[in-house]
Amino acid sequence: MIDTIYRGAVDDLEAMTNEELFELYQKRHDNHIKQELTMRYVYIVKSVAYQMRDVYSDSMQPEDIINEGVIEIMKAIDRYDIEKDNKFETFISRRIRGMVIDLIRKNDWMPRNYHRDRKNIEDARDELQRKLGHAPSDEEISKYYKMDVKKIKKVDRMRTMVNVLSLDMTYDDNDETLFQVASEDINTQPEGSFLQNETVATLAKAIDSLKDSEKKVISLYYVDELNMNQIAEVMNISQPRVSQLHSIAIEKLKGYMSKMS
Residue 214's CATH number: 1.10.10.10
pLDDT top residue among 237 and 12? 237
For residue 13, name the pLDDT band (cuts at 50, 70, 90). confident
77 and 125 together in one domain:
no
Domain end position, chosen among 87, 110, 133: 110
1 and 87 together in one domain:
yes
pLDDT tens, residue by residue, 208-250: 788 888 888 887 887 667 888 888 888 888 988 998 999 898 8
Averaged over 150-154, what is the pLDDT? 83
55 and 121 together in one domain:
no
Number of domains in the chain: 3
220 and 238 together in one domain:
yes
Q: Compute the distance between CA of residue 74 and CA of residue 216 in angstroms, rounded to an integer.
A: 19
Per the structure, the complete domain to which residue 224 belongs is given by 176-261
145 and 247 together in one domain:
no
Residue 62's CATH number: 1.10.1740.10
105 and 8 together in one domain:
yes
150 and 231 together in one domain:
no
10 and 106 together in one domain:
yes
Is the predicted pLDDT of residue 46 greater than 80, yes or no?
yes
pLDDT tens, residue by residue, 108-148: 555 567 778 888 999 999 999 999 999 899 999 999 988 88
